[in-house]
Amino acid sequence: MKITWLGQSSVQIITDNQLTILIDPFIKDNPLVKTTVAELNPDYILVTHAHYDHVGDTIELAKQSNATVISITDLANYFKSEGLTVEELNFGGQLTLPFGSVKLVPAWHTAALAIDGKPRTLGVAAGFELHIAGKVLYHAGDTALFSDMKLVNHMEPVDLAFLPIGDTYTMGLEDAAIAAEFVQAKKVVPIHYNTFTKIEQDPVEFVQLLNDGVGIIPEIDVPFEF
């Protein structure tokens, strides 16, 4: 599969059978990403939680590409009310799809979105466990460190984990390094850093806290093979 980090928590996965999965597409208001909304053509959009830097351009993208949006029930109901095609999940639920499967797993974080200028809470924050072509990927969304991360993939190693390291709103470097151990990640991509001043972090410093060879620091917009 081909994976591209699009800054913040946004990750694009193109599977070997040419299906495109886009997680947390925060494109237009992200100063660091060069890829444009018009260039993206997802089949599935997975949204971890209702914060604006994760919902991002979901509505526009889903309309332009006819993508199915997958999120926690309460947020899925909001997307449905905006005319989108959705698949809802709640914690522990797993969906089988043409590329593999998606499971909604817990995160420790909040989840409100400004709608017509008023903040509305839409479910709670979550993460995703993806099974694609025999590999297990874990996108933690925004979260604090918590010990039940150990239950991701039934306590078996995760092949690739996307973990937030920005601090302030999520785990910082040290907690994220422990999270990598909790999920026994074979590879880890740090996300949710340097987009704004409040989440400035050095990803190299983070990678040094991991076991040798575990950390991957992709360049934004540049795909890598996994």
Q: Which positions lie near Mn ion, rule CB under 5 A?
A: 51, 53, 142
- Strands 135-139, 160-164: pairing kind: parallel
- Rounded to whole angstroms, the Cα distance separating 139 from 104 reads 10
Residues 40-69 close enough to bind Ni ion by CB under 5 A: 51
What minimum distance in Å lies between the beta carbon of 54 and Mn ion?
6
> Based on CB atoms, which residue is closest to Mn ion, 38 or 115?
115
For 72-91, give one letter per residue: b (16+ CB within 10 A) or e. Answer: bbbbbebbeeeebebebbee
Eight-class DSSP state of 89:
E
What minimum distance in Å lies between the beta carbon of 172 and Mn ion?
14
How far lies 60's CA from each of 26, 39, 55, 84, in Å?
11, 12, 11, 10
> Based on CB atoms, which residue is closest to Mn ion, 27 or 136?
27
What minimum distance in Å lies between the beta carbon of 82 and Ni ion?
20
Of 142, 159, 167, 175, which one interacts with Ni ion (CB under 5 A)? 142
What minimum distance in Å lies between the beta carbon of 137 and Ni ion?
20
Instruction: Report helix, strand and coil shares of the chain as percent, to nearest 5.
Output: 25, 30, 45
Asked if residue 139 binds Ni ion (CB under 5 A), the reply is: no
